[in-house]
Amino acid sequence: MSFPFYVNPEQMAQDKAEFARKGIARGKSIVTVEYDQGVVLVAENPTRLHKLGEVYDRVGFAGVGKFSEFDRLRKMGVQWADVEGYKFSRDDVRGKALANVYSQILGEEFSRSMKPFEVEVVVAEVGDPELAGHEGNSLFKIGFDGTVQDQEGFCVIGGSESNLQSHMQSNYREGLNLAEALALGREALQRAENGTPDLPAKSLEVCVLDRSRNGRKFKRLKADEVAALLD
């Protein structure tokens, strides 16, 4: 009979975390910024595979890292949201609850499986002035090990996070308009170690959660709309 080798749990968690961080650092970053009418999500992504997506009326998704993993998380979020909305009502689908779902999955996957997820995701929710207790926006950042951070104003995920974070910290202010928020997001992305200087509009994937829209607030901006806003 063979005995499994003893592995120090602390060591194992550290190794897994290091592995996950390496995977995430290889990819491009995403910046999420609040503006006067909602939330704008900005990713450096010249491909047609999306990193940003619509989850529900007021909820959007952003993911970095391994595509197969964060896209599965995105789809699962859509499944979860549509089932909740169908079972209860459209107003009952909340960003915080989705952040919790993601946290559970990532946390469990981190401690149970050999290979942790190499992803970080953001759940962005635009506030609804008519819905008591949910007037404000929320940005939840969920790490590869299931840690959740509730952030205000802006949220950065992906490689070179600290560069982007410090740029956002010193330049973000409340009440930006969409063009300003987008420009700020792009500037931050350009500061990434693997970032591209002078990011053209067509290399950006930009989505908004626009409070002024009816029903579904999520909108994917076309390249010419992005270019017009950046001009």
Partner 1 sequence: MRFWDGYKGSSFMELINDEFPQLKCDLSAGLHGAGTLPETAHGTTCVGLRFAEGALVAGDRLATMGHQVANRDIEKVYATDGYSLMAIAGAAGPAIEMARLLGVQFEHHEKIEGEPLELEGKANTLASLIRQNLPAAMQGLVVVPLFAGYDRRRHTGRVWKYEVTGGRYEELEFDGIGSGSIFAKESLKKSYSTGATREDAIGMAILALTDAADEDRATGGVDLERGIFPRVKLVTEEGVEEVGDDEIAQVYQGVLESRRRPGA
- Positions touching partner 1 (CB under 8 A) are 50, 53-55, 72, 75-76, 78-80, 82-83, 85-87, 101, 105, 109, 216
Contact 8, 159 (CB under 8 A): no
| 54 vs 118, beta carbon nearer partner 1 | 54
Between CA 227 and CA 175 the distance in angstroms is 22
The residue among 25 and 76 lying less far from partner 1, judged by its C-beta, is 76
Rg of the chain on CA atoms, in Å: 18
Q: What angle do CA 89, 138, 79 make, to 5 degrees?
A: 40
Q: How far is CA 67 from CA 10, 18, 79, 100, 223, in A?
A: 28, 19, 18, 21, 22
Nearer to partner 1, 34 or 54 (CB): 54
Residue 136 beta carbon to partner 1: minimum distance, rounded to whole angstroms: 24
For partner 1, give the closer residue by CB, 106 or 139: 106
Smaller CB separation from partner 1, 22 or 75: 75
Smallest gap from Cβ 220 to partner 1, in A, equals 9
Tell me the closest approach of the beta carbon of residue 188 to partner 1, in angstroms. Answer: 26
- Cα–Cα distance between 209 and 11 in angstroms, integer? 41
SS3 (DSSP) at 126? coil
State in angstroms the smallest separation of the CB of 197 from partner 1.
29
* Amino acid residing at 58: R
What is the closest distance, in whole angstroms, from the C-beta atom of residue 3 to partner 1 in the complex? Answer: 30
- Whole-number Å distance between alpha carbons of 31 and 50: 15
* 93 closest CA partner among 66, 118, 59: 59
CB of 100 to partner 1, least distance (A): 13
Which one, 96 or 213, has the nearer CB to partner 1? 213
